[in-house]
Every structure is written in structure tokens, then in C-alpha cells.
């Protein structure tokens, strides 16, 4: 049996202090004003170097903006990508239907979101979208793909 990390810690606290785990569960929120929270999922955990790099880049951009806001906004290009699903599945609650007593629940095939999706990479600046590139089926975004994408975008921008 695999135990949750927090339960192990509560049990260790109880054993160390010589009280029941129920008592520890009472003391934590009631006496120590602690609460148990679910983890918050983030796309990626940034290292200290990543955070410093983002701060440095942001400060550099702010300096350029303060020097000449119009020129900065005219030239600054940003990029982002996202998955767009072709279909949005119903939730279990949305798919509920009224049936007569004794009838069986209707059946419905479950469609996975990953079956039909596309990933656009969008380049834009202050005045709108400049270019949209779509990830080819079977490809994944990695360093080489992104480098080639930036080269294609550079060629597109020069035209």
C-alpha cells in the first residue's frame, strides 16, 4: 500500500510527540491555523537561472520601451503555441438525459480530446497577427523544430 507523503508525516509527528494521528489532524488546522491544499499544476518548474533570465529580459524590454515606445511596439514580436481541439466533449453532467422508470441509461461512445487536435504557433505584434504556423501531424516541438520554425518565420518576415 502506497501512503500519501502528508499521511506519513502526520503519522511521524504523532509517533514523535506520542499522540494519536486524529489529534494531530485536529491540532494542525485548529491550533496552528494550517490547511491542506492540493498541489497547483504548472507547465514547468523554473530554475533560479530561468527566473533570473526572465527578469533580465523583461528589464531590457522595459528599457527599450521607455527609450522609444512607438518604435518598440512597431518592432516587438512575440510568439505562443497552443493545442486547439476539433471537438469539445460533453461532461458527464451535460450528457445526462431523462428516461422513464425501468429504462436503461443511454450509451454514448467517449471521444478523446487528443484524437482531433491541431497546434498553431502564432506570431504577433502590437498591430495584430503576423503569421500562423501549424505543427505537422506526427511532429513534436523540440529545440530543432523551434529553430527551424524561427528560420521559416524569418524568411516569411523578410518577404
80 within 8 A of 120, measured Cβ to Cβ: no
Query: Residue 67 has what pLDDT?
Result: 97
| Angstrom distance (rounded) from CA 12 to CA 157 | 61
pLDDT the model gives residue 36: 76
Q: Choose between 150 and 157: higher pLDDT.
A: 150
Flag whether pLDDT at 83 surpasses 60: yes
Nearest to 133 by CA among 116, 103, 156: 156
Res 3: pLDDT: 42
Average pLDDT estimate for 124-140: 89
Q: What is the pLDDT of residue 79?
A: 93
Which pLDDT score is estimated for 1? 32
DSSP 2: P
Domains in the chain: boundaries? 1-35, 43-76, 78-87+115-159
d(CA 99, CA 131) in angstroms, rounded, equals: 50
Highest mean pLDDT among 10-14, 16-20, 24-28, 43-47: 16-20
**At 7, is the secondary structure helix, strand, or coil?**
helix
Residues 36-68: tens digit of each pLDDT: 777 777 778 899 999 999 999 999 999 999 999
Asked if residues 122 and 79 have their Cβ atoms less than 8 Å apart, the reply is yes
Amino acid at each position: 500500500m502506497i501512503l500519501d507523503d502528508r499521511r506519513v508525516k502526520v503519522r511521524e509527528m504523532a509517533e514523535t510527540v506520542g499522540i494519536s494521528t486524529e489529534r494531530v489532524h485536529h491540532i494542525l488546522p485548529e491550533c496552528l491555523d494550517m490547511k491542506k491544499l492540493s498541489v497547483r499544476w504548472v507547465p514547468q518548474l523554473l530554475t533560479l537561472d530561468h527566473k533570473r533570465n526572465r527578469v533580465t529580459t523583461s528589464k531590457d524590454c522595459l528599457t527599450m520601451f521607455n527609450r522609444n515606445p512607438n518604435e518598440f511596439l512597431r518592432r516587438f514580436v512575440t510568439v505562443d503555441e497552443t493545442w486547439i481541439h476539433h471537438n469539445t466533449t460533453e461532461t458527464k453532467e451535460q450528457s445526462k438525459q431523462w428516461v422513464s422508470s425501468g429504462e436503461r441509461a443511454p450509451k454514448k461512445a467517449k471521444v478523446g480530446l487528443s484524437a482531433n487536435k491541431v497546434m498553431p504557433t502564432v506570431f504577433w505584434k502590437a498591430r495584430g497577427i503576423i503569421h500562423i504556423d501549424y505543427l505537422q501531424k506526427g511532429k513534436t516541438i523540440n529545440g530543432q523544430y523551434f529553430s527551424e520554425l524561427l528560420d521559416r518565420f524569418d524568411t516569411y518576415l523578410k518577404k
